[in-house]
Amino acid sequence: MNLIIEGINCFSSAFNKTSSFENFKRFEASYVLNALTLDRKEAIFAWLKLGLNENDTLQCSVTIGAMEPILFSQKVESIFDQRIEELEDAIAEKESDEKVVLKIIVRKSHKDEGNYLKLNIYSLEDFSDYLVKRNLKELASFLPNEFASEKPVNFNILHEVVPFRTNRFIFSQGYPVIDSDLQLDSESFDRMKLIEKRDKCGHFANASTMSYLPEDFHLLGNCQYKEIERVLKCLESFYLLVFLCDFSSVSSRLNVKMKGYKLLSQEFDIDRLKSAKTDELYLIYKWVYNEGNFSDKVGLARNLMSIHLKNDDLLELESGTVHSLESGYDIYLKENVKQYIEIKNKLSEFIQSSSDKANGVTKNMFTSMKNSLWGFVSFFLSVVFFRVITKGTVQGIVSDDILLIAYGIIGMSCILLWVAIQETNTDIVRFQKSYKSLKSRYKDLLDENDLNKILQNDKIHNEDVLHIKQKKTLYRNSWLMITFIMFIVVTGLWYLSSSNEDLDNNNSLPKATQSK
């Protein structure tokens, strides 16, 4: 049963179609009626109202011979009755050799049903003829600009049809019986994410006007309508090449370039795309754009595809190429795991080396402190030994001259302390810069979160820096304390020496007086 034919039968049971056309916006057909009758006026009016959504507008006109057409449309019944009267008068005046032409025009508009869009198709044959006659660039744009939404589209066919569908486009029967098995759910994926991936590793010159995916035209099941099937195959082939090649553009032909182990540059016309066998290509596309490292997968796919072609034709892939990709990627991942372990081991070595460097930073300060102390002690012991050897006693060990020299050594020790502190501070800064520089280089090799996990969010480095600062504080305080003690000891010995010398001088004066 056909909605249009049912309407024609209301005017005449015998007719011949002279022309017909249908696209996304309009259906138009003309018929020559062999016998015109108005016995079914009520059926005609009911037909004008039947089976249409509120966005479509149906008009029909009857022309007898050279007279003006009599128009019928979806209006109130009183106007319809007026047109019937006009037609009855025209029939009464009709000459036997005059033709009766019925012309049907439907202005179509899609309807938003919430989770999908619906567009009526009045003749799948005429609609497929329209698609077939479009050039490649027009066909690749597919839907008119009015279909701005990325929702699924239900082509509601108003005659008997065997339903078929792709992931996005559903061709279902809407008259005389609505297809109760219609499934409007589609495969769940992020369209924009897939398009962003495509643009990340390739350039499609017509991307602004053609935002379709290969899934949109991939048939899910069989299609009994060969012309429609060829159109969908053409579009699927078109977008598979766009999503897998480095560069693509379309004018009258599809131009693509792929940089693999071999550089491939090809052109495909619409007939070649319609006849393509895309099963292998579609499997590769799904594998590349599925989960995993997209950049690595698309690079590997382009390399292996370039050496698995028949006659260097991108639409003639060897069977099983996708399995070669999977095997190659497994090997690639194993190599990456090996490289990852090596990088992780190097990082562990770096962390250990960094801790050793942290110990070395304060070791220099400790060495300087030890040498300074040893120098002072050596000087002091030399003075003691010299005093014992020359005078036979340690009394008066620190003279004014010795005190001056000791103070000089203590002053030099303080200067060395300042130098050691400055050197340690500089080494701390260099130590931190070296760590940050190496961490920055490893960011190019590892995920930032993984790098932070390996480095324990800089915990060990921060502990090393804290260790250096604590050691620096300990050595500085020890150095100052030892220097202060040396100062007290030397000053005390000098004071005792001076006091003993004064006492000796005072004792010698009475003896001298008595002797006189």
Does residue 89 sit in the same domain as residue 148? no
Average pLDDT over residues 383-404: 63
Domain that holds residue 388: 347-515
How far is the CA of 480 from the CAs of 353, 487, 495, in angstroms? 31, 10, 22
Does residue 380 sit in the same domain as residue 464? yes
Which pLDDT score is estimated for 353?
Answer: 78
Which pTM was predicted?
0.69
Which pLDDT score is estimated for 488?
Answer: 85
Does residue 133 sit in the same domain as residue 230? yes
Distance CA 215, CA 335 (A): 32
User: Which sign, positive or negative, has the C-alpha torsion 206, 207, 209, 215?
Assistant: positive
Does residue 263 sit in the same domain as residue 403? no
Distance CA 172, CA 152 (A): 13
Of 113, 124, 111, the closest CA to residue 175 belongs to 124
Long-range contacts: 455-458, Cβ < 8 Å, 24+?
Answer: 455/347, 455/351
Average pLDDT over residues 42-61: 79
Does residue 105 sit in the same domain as residue 126? no
Which pLDDT score is estimated for 293?
Answer: 85
- Whether 189 shows a pLDDT value over 80: the answer reads no
Which pLDDT score is estimated for 179?
Answer: 67
Specify the amino acid at residue 292.
G
Does residue 96 sit in the same domain as residue 73? yes
**Does residue 327 fall inside a structural domain?**
no
Which pLDDT score is estimated for 266?
Answer: 95
**Does residue 492 fall inside a structural domain?**
yes
- Whether 24 shows a pLDDT value over 90: the answer reads yes
Distance CA 170, CA 182 (A): 8
**Does residue 326 fall inside a structural domain?**
no
CA 145 to chain centre: 27
**Does residue 138 fall inside a structural domain?**
yes
- Whether 365 shows a pLDDT value over 90: the answer reads no
Of 227, 254, 276, at which residue does a domain stop? 276
Does residue 76 sit in the same domain as residue 213? no
Q: Which residue blocks in 392-458 are alpha helix, DSSP H?
A: 400-442, 448-454
Does residue 365 sit in the same domain as residue 228? no
* Distant-in-sequence, close-in-space partners of 248: CB < 8 Å, separation ≥ 6: 202, 203, 204, 205, 241, 242, 254, 255, 256, 257
Which pLDDT score is estimated for 4?
Answer: 92
Which pLDDT score is estimated for 496?
Answer: 74
Which pLDDT score is estimated for 423?
Answer: 80
pLDDT digits (tens, 9 = 90+) for 268-323: 999 999 999 999 999 999 999 988 888 889 999 999 999 999 888 999 999 899 99
Find out whether 451 and 439 touch, Cβ atoms under 8 Å: yes
- Whether 417 shows a pLDDT value over 80: the answer reads no
Does residue 100 sit in the same domain as residue 121? no
Does residue 63 sit in the same domain as residue 122? no
Find out whether 157 and 174 touch, Cβ atoms under 8 Å: yes
At 258 the three-state DSSP class reads: strand
pLDDT digits (tens, 9 = 90+) for 481-495: 877 887 887 788 777
Which pLDDT score is estimated for 392?
Answer: 54
**Does residue 426 fall inside a structural domain?**
yes
Q: What is the mean pLDDT of the chain?
A: 84
* Distant-in-sequence, close-in-space partners of 499: CB < 8 Å, separation ≥ 6: none
Find out whether 167 and 220 touch, Cβ atoms under 8 Å: yes
Distance CA 158, CA 140 (A): 25
Average pLDDT over residues 383-405: 64
- Whether 509 shows a pLDDT value over 70: the answer reads no
Query: What's 222's DSSP letter?
Result: -
- Whether 178 shows a pLDDT value over 70: the answer reads yes
Which pLDDT score is estimated for 182?
Answer: 62
Which pLDDT score is estimated for 31?
Answer: 96
Average pLDDT over residues 375-379: 67
Give 335 or 220, the one with higher predicted confidence.
Answer: 220
C-beta atoms surrounding 448 within 10 Å: 10
Average pLDDT over residues 418-445: 80
- Whether the upstream peptide bond of residue 176 has omega within 30° of 0, thus cis, is yes
**Does residue 309 fall inside a structural domain?**
no
**Does residue 264 fall inside a structural domain?**
yes
Which pLDDT score is estimated for 399?
Answer: 67
Does residue 103 sit in the same domain as residue 128? no
Which pLDDT score is estimated for 439?
Answer: 79
Which pLDDT score is estimated for 117?
Answer: 92
Distance CA 387, CA 393 (A): 7
Confidence of residue 239 (pLDDT cuts 50, 70, 90): very high
Pairing label, strands 164-165, 153-157:
unpaired
Average pLDDT over residues 58-73: 91
Long-range contacts: 248-254, Cβ < 8 Å, 24+?
Answer: 248/202, 248/203, 248/204, 248/205, 249/204, 249/205, 249/206, 250/136, 250/137, 250/140, 250/205, 250/206, 250/210, 251/137, 252/135, 252/136, 252/137, 253/136, 254/136, 254/140
Which pLDDT score is estimated for 446?
Answer: 72
What is the number of structural domains in the chain? 3
Bridge partners for 159 per DSSP: 2
pLDDT digits (tens, 9 = 90+) for 104-137: 999 999 988 888 899 999 999 999 999 999 999 9
- Whether 51 shows a pLDDT value over 50: the answer reads no
Does residue 265 sit in the same domain as residue 132? yes
